[in-house]
Amino acid sequence: MIKPPIFGKGQRIGLFGGSFNPAHYGHYMVALYAKKRLQLDWVWWLVSPQNPLKDPHETGDYAKRLAFTKQIAKHPRFVVTDIEHQINSHNTAQTLQALGHTMNQANFVWIMGADSFANLHRWHNWTDIPDALPLAFLARPGYSVRALSGRAALRYALRRVQTDFAAKLINRKTPAWVFLPMPLRPESSTAIRNLNQNR
């Protein structure tokens, strides 16, 4: 049985999933920018036990990643959750299926970086994700153009919501998605891990 964070019926909630290995200020700014542009009541950070597209040896200890993400995501409207750990989820489609009852009680949108949207077609049961809830992806250095010309963007080209109407995305019939340009951040979890290893 999932124990989701406390929320109000009908509220607007962004789901921000990732390995967060480690979480950094760039993640914080993506969540903050998404909250503002999508007019969200909450952003739930879903710390993944293991990204199936990444090497388990590079994922890092879950408890440490969860704890550090809580330190980074300090905002009254951000909630860091272990939902995916609770259900032992191995992919986003599985997580959304498990959240079905919860998602019927509020309005949800999935928040992701352009790098993730560019590779969405590689995710397990990937078409189940845009069918389940609207998607918002935010600019990442070197990935935005690739994402906008990628397989997911082309497949759902007619379902794109223009950036000026981003706040209406969450109420659109799925599939629906929006691209949110934002000031680019230099932080990278991979670069931070490499720096720590070389110290």
* Mean pLDDT, range 128-154, rounded to an integer: 96
Torsion, Cα of 14, 151, 100, 61 (10° steps): -70
At residue 197 the predicted structure's pLDDT band, cuts being 50, 70 and 90, is low
Higher pLDDT, 41 or 49: 41
Report the C-alpha gap between 24 and 72 in whole angstroms.
6
Strand order in the sheet with 78-81: 78-81, 42-47, 12-18, 107-113, 135-138, 177-180
At residue 196 the predicted structure's pLDDT band, cuts being 50, 70 and 90, is low
Q: Where are the beta strands (DSSP E) in the chain?
A: 12-18, 42-47, 78-81, 107-113, 135-138, 177-180
* Relative orientation angle of helices 25-38 and 62-72, to the nearest 10 degrees: 60
Higher pLDDT, 184 or 174: 174
Q: What is the pLDDT of residue 109?
A: 98
Q: What is the pLDDT of residue 193?
A: 45
Report the C-alpha gap between 98 and 94 in whole angstroms.
6
Give per-residue pLDDT as tens, 51-69: 766 766 667 899 999 999 9
Residue ranges of domains in the chain: 21-44+132-194
SS3 67: helix
